[in-house]
Structure 1
C-alpha cells in the first residue's frame, strides 16, 4: 500500500497544475475510470479549498443574510439622482437635482412637490441624502410617520403635518428651505395593527396581528378622480396568525393552533372626497400556505 501511494499519489501531487487543467487535459467523461492520478488531483484541489475558502464563497446579494464578521453596510440601499423640472408642474422654469433618493421615496425641493405626495396620507420624511453620525437614515420626528395635513401655495410651499399638540403645531417646513431637498416615504401599515383574514368568498377565516414591518413600504400606483384618491402600496410583513375552526350551523371558534407568517401584499389606501384623512381598506393579494389566496381587512373592533 505504501508503495502504491509513493508511486501514484505522491508523484502526481508534485508539480500538478490546477484541477481544471488536469481534468480538461485528460478529458474525463462520465464513463471513464477514476485513476489514482485523478484522485490525487482532487485531493490537492480540496486542500486548496480548505486554505482559501473565501475565494470560493459566493458574494452575498443585497437582502441576503451576511456572515457575522461581515460589514452590514456592504450592500447599501439602492439610491439614485433625479433631475426635476418645475415647469412640468406649471411653475417657474426651474430645474432641480436631488441626490441620494431611494427607489421608494418621493422628492420635494424648491417649488417642486412630487404629485404622489398628497394630503391625508402618512409619510416619513428626511433630508435627501442625509444620515446621522452612525450612518443610519436620519428621519424627522424620530422616524414617526405623520399624516400630511396640507400643502400650501406659492413658491415656498408650506407642508404641514399632524402634531401631537393640537394647539401648537410645530410639524411643518417649507419646500424650499432645504437646498438638498426632502425625501418622502409613504406609510400604510403599523406594528401591532390587527386584521381579519378573509377568503376569496369574503368569509372570515382567521385574524392576524403585525409583529414586524420590512421596509420599504413602496407606493406602486395612484388614481385621483374628483378628489377621491386611491393609492396602492407594496408591503412585506411578519404576522402572528390565528385560524378559525368552522362548525355546523355557522358557528366558529378560535383554534388553539397559531402560526407566524411573513407575507407580501398590496395595501389599498383610500381618501374619499369629503374626508381629509386616508384610511387603509385592505391588504390584498396575500397568500397563506394554510388558506391560499386571501386578504387582510383592518379589525376596527
Structure 2
C-alpha cells in the first residue's frame, strides 16, 4: 500500500508548488469532495500576480490581492488590487513630463499634472477621487459623496480646468485643475444607475419584458472607445441585479399580460454614446445579456 501511494498519489503532485498547494490539489482531486473555500484558494494560487493596469506604460505592482482565504468555511474579499502607473505627457503633445500615479485601481483612469487620460471625455459621467498610496477604500475618498457627475468641459493649457455638472445652475463649484493634486486623480466611468428601467428585447428586437436595476455589483469598467467625426462611443462592462418582469402573449396574439417576475444577476456591455451635436452622452443599450428564460437579449432604456 505504501508503494502504491508513493507511485500513484504522491508523484502526481510533485512540482506543483508549496505544501499548501499540494494539499489543495489533493483536496480537489476528482475523488475528493470539494470543500468551501477550495475553489477560491485555487484561483488565488493560479492567478496571483498576473493582473496589470491597462493604462500603464510601465506599471509595477503596488499592493493588494483580489482574494483572501479567511478559513475553510468562508472566503472574504481583501483590499482591491491597485497598481503604480507611469504616464508621459509628451505622448499627448505636452512638455516631456513623466508622472507616477500610485494606488490606481484597474477600472480607473489617471489625471495628473498636464496629463489627462485620453479616455476622459466631456459629456460622459465619472466618479472622481484623489489617487495616491494613502487613499483609503470607500466612498469617503470620492468627490461629491461618491456621486457620478457629467464632465462638461476641459480647459485649454497645461493645467486644465475640469468642470462638472453641478446641482446649482448659477453657481457651479464642481471643478478643479488637473495639476492641483500632487498625487493625481482617479476617474472611473459611470454608465448605469440603480433604479434605471429597461425594456428587454430579443434577438429579433421584439420586446419580451421589462427590468429595473436594483444593485450594481462590480465597478463599471470601460473596455473600448471609438471617436468618428465628433461622435464618441464607449463600451462599459457592467454587472447588475435586476428585477425582471417577463411578458406573456395571449395564444391568439391579441394582448400582452404581465406574467412572471424574477430577480436576475447579469453581466453586459453598456453602450454609451455622445453625438457631435450633443453636450451629454446617453446610454443606448446594454448588450450581450443572457437571461435563463429568454437566452441572449439586450436591455434598452425605457424612456416612457
**1:24 aligned residue:** 2
Which residue of the partner structure matches residue 289 of structure 1? 292
Deviation at 1:226, TM superposition (A): 1.1
Answer whether contact 2:122 2:154 (CA < 8 A) is retained: yes
Distance in 2, Cα, partners of 1:218 & 1:253: 36
SS at match of 2:150: strand
Structure 2 stretches of 5 or more lacking a match?
9-35, 45-65
1:179 to 170, 182, 197: 182
Larger radius of gyration: 1
Q: Which residue of 2 aligns with 1:275?
A: 278
Q: Does 1:99 align with 2:77?
A: no
Let me know the Cα RMSD of the aligned residues: 2.5
Q: How many residues align?
A: 251
Return closer, same or farther for 1:201/1:26 CA change in 2, 3 Å cut-off. closer
SS at match of 2:169: coil
Q: Secondary structure at the match of 2:253?
A: helix
Q: Offset of 1:70 from its aligned partner?
A: 7.5
TM-score with structure 2 length normalisation?
Answer: 0.77
Distance 1:277 1:216 in 2: 21
Residue 216 to residue 199, structure 1, CA distance change in 2 (3 Å): same
Tell me if 1:119 matches 2:97. Answer: no
How far does the alpha carbon of each residue in 1:105-153 deviate from its partner, in whole angstroms, 9 at most, with x for none? 0000000000000000000000013534xx4351110000000000011
Q: How do 1:132-147 residues align onto structure 2 when only pairs under 5 Å count?
A: 132=136, 135-137=137-139, 138-147=141-150
Q: Which runs of 5+ in 1 are unaligned?
A: 1-22, 31-55
What TM-score, normalized by structure 1, do the two folds share?
0.77
Question: 2:200 & 2:270 partners in 1: Cα distance?
Answer: 14
Q: Does 2:162 align with 1:131?
A: no
